[in-house]
Chain A
Amino acid sequence: MFNKKFRSAYLVTSVLTVLSLAGCADSDAGSNGALQVSGSTTVAPVAADAAQALKADGLDITVATQGGSAGGISQLAAGQINIAMSSKPLAKEDKAANPDTDFLSTQIGADAVGVIVTKKVADAGVKNLTADQVRDLFEGKIKNWSELGGPDLEVFVYDKEPGRGTREVLDKYIYGDEKAPPPPKSGNFAIVGGNLETRNKLESTPGAVAPLSTSFIEGRDKLAAVTLDGIEASPENIASGKYPMSRPLYLLTDGKPKGSAKKFIDYVLTDKGQKLMTKHGYLTLKEIGK
Chain B
Amino acid sequence: MTTETLTRPPVAPDTGGRPRPSKWIWTWLYAGAFAVAALLLVVVGYLGAGIAGGHVDWMELLTESAWSPTNSVFGGLAMIYGTAVVCALALVIAVPVSWGAAVALSEYLPPRLARPLRMCVELLAAVPSIVYGLIGIMVLRPVISKIADVPGGDSLAAAGIVLAVMITPTIVAVSVDALTAVPDRVREAAYSLGLTRREVVRSAVLPPARSGMRAAVLLGLARALGEAIAVFLVVGRADGRLPTSFGEFLDSLSHPGQTLTTKLAGPEPVLAGTSGPYFAAICGLGLVLLALVAAATVWGTRGRDRGAASERPLKFRGTARLRQQRDRLVMTLRLGALLLPSLLLVGMLALLVTRGSSAFDPSFWFTSATGAAGGGVRDQIVGTVLLIATTGILALPLGFGAGILIGIHASERTARVLQTVTVILGGAPTILLGLAGFVILSTTMGWGRSWLAGAIVLVPVVVPVIALTTSARVRSIPAELTESAMSLGLTRAQYVRSVVVPYTWPATITGLLLGLARAAGETAPLLFTATVFFGAPMVPSGIVESPVQALPTHIFTLSQDSGDPQAVTQAWGSAMVLVLITAVLLSAAVALRNRFEGERWTT
* A residues with CB within 8 A of B: 1-2, 10, 13-14, 17, 21, 24-25, 27-29, 31-34, 36, 38, 45, 48, 51-52, 55, 60-68, 70-71, 74-75, 78-81, 97, 154, 156, 161-164, 179-194, 196-197, 199-201, 203-208
- Taken together as a complex, chains A and B put the C-alpha atoms of A19 and B592 apart, in Å, by 31
Q: Are B70 and A179 in touch, CB under 8 angstroms?
A: yes
Given contacts A33-B544, A188-B151, contact A200 B535 (CB under 8 A): no
Q: Are B561 and A196 in touch, CB under 8 angstroms?
A: yes
How far, in Å, is A151 (CB) from chain B's closest CB? 13
How far, in Å, is A105 (CB) from chain B's closest CB? 19
Q: Are A29 and B267 in touch, CB under 8 angstroms?
A: no
The reply on B601 being an interface residue by CB < 8 A is no
Number of A-B contacts (CB under 8 A): 195
Interface pairs (9), CB distance under 8 Å: A32-B541, A62-B547, A64-B532, A67-B271, A74-B273, A80-B443, A97-B273, A185-B241, A204-B141
- Closest A residue to B272 by beta carbon equals A74
What are the interface flags for B67-95 relative to A under an 8 Å C-beta threshold, 1 for contact and 0 otherwise? 11111010000000000000000000000
- Taken together as a complex, chains A and B put the C-alpha atoms of A243 and B527 apart, in Å, by 37
Q: Are B543 and A25 in touch, CB under 8 angstroms?
A: yes
How far, in Å, is B126 (CB) from chain A's closest CB? 25
Interface size bracket, B side: 35 or more
How far, in Å, is B253 (CB) from chain A's closest CB? 10
Near A by CB (< 8 A), chain B positions 40-67 give 65-67
- Taken together as a complex, chains A and B put the C-alpha atoms of A95 and B509 apart, in Å, by 52
* B residues with CB within 8 A of A: 65-71, 73, 141-142, 145, 150-154, 236-242, 251-252, 255-256, 266-268, 270-271, 273, 371-372, 390, 393, 396-397, 442-443, 446, 448-449, 452, 501-502, 505, 527-528, 532-537, 541-547, 560-564, 567
Q: Are A66 and B545 in touch, CB under 8 angstroms?
A: no
- Taken together as a complex, chains A and B put the C-alpha atoms of A182 and B77 apart, in Å, by 14
Q: Are B267 and A68 in touch, CB under 8 angstroms?
A: yes
A31: chain B residues within 8 A (beta carbon): 545
B543: chain A residues within 8 A (beta carbon): 21, 24-25, 28
B70: chain A residues within 8 A (beta carbon): 162, 179-180
Complex partner residue of B270 from A75, A179, A201, CB under 8 angstroms: A75
- Closest A residue to B501 by beta carbon equals A2
Complex partner residue of A66 from B267, B501, B534, CB under 8 angstroms: B267
A32: chain B residues within 8 A (beta carbon): 541-542
Minimum-distance CB pairs A-B, first 6 = A28-B542, A196-B561, A200-B563, A182-B68, A190-B256, A67-B270
- Closest A residue to B154 by beta carbon equals A190
- Taken together as a complex, chains A and B put the C-alpha atoms of A163 and B266 apart, in Å, by 11
How far, in Å, is A77 (CB) from chain B's closest CB? 9
> Could you list 14 further interchain pairs (A-B, Cβ under 8 angstroms) beyond the known A48-B371, A80-B442?
A10-B396, A34-B547, A36-B532, A62-B535, A64-B547, A68-B267, A80-B448, A80-B449, A162-B69, A163-B271, A182-B68, A189-B256, A192-B237, A197-B561
A27: chain B residues within 8 A (beta carbon): 542
Q: Are A25 and B533 in touch, CB under 8 angstroms?
A: no
Complex partner residue of A196 from B73, B251, B560, CB under 8 angstroms: B560
Q: Are B252 and A187 in touch, CB under 8 angstroms?
A: yes
- Taken together as a complex, chains A and B put the C-alpha atoms of A215 and B560 apart, in Å, by 19
Q: Are B152 and A156 in touch, CB under 8 angstroms?
A: yes
B67: chain A residues within 8 A (beta carbon): 182
Q: Are A182 and B563 in touch, CB under 8 angstroms?
A: no
Considering residues B267, B371, B372, B544, which has the most beta carbons from chain A within 10 angstroms of its beta carbon? B267
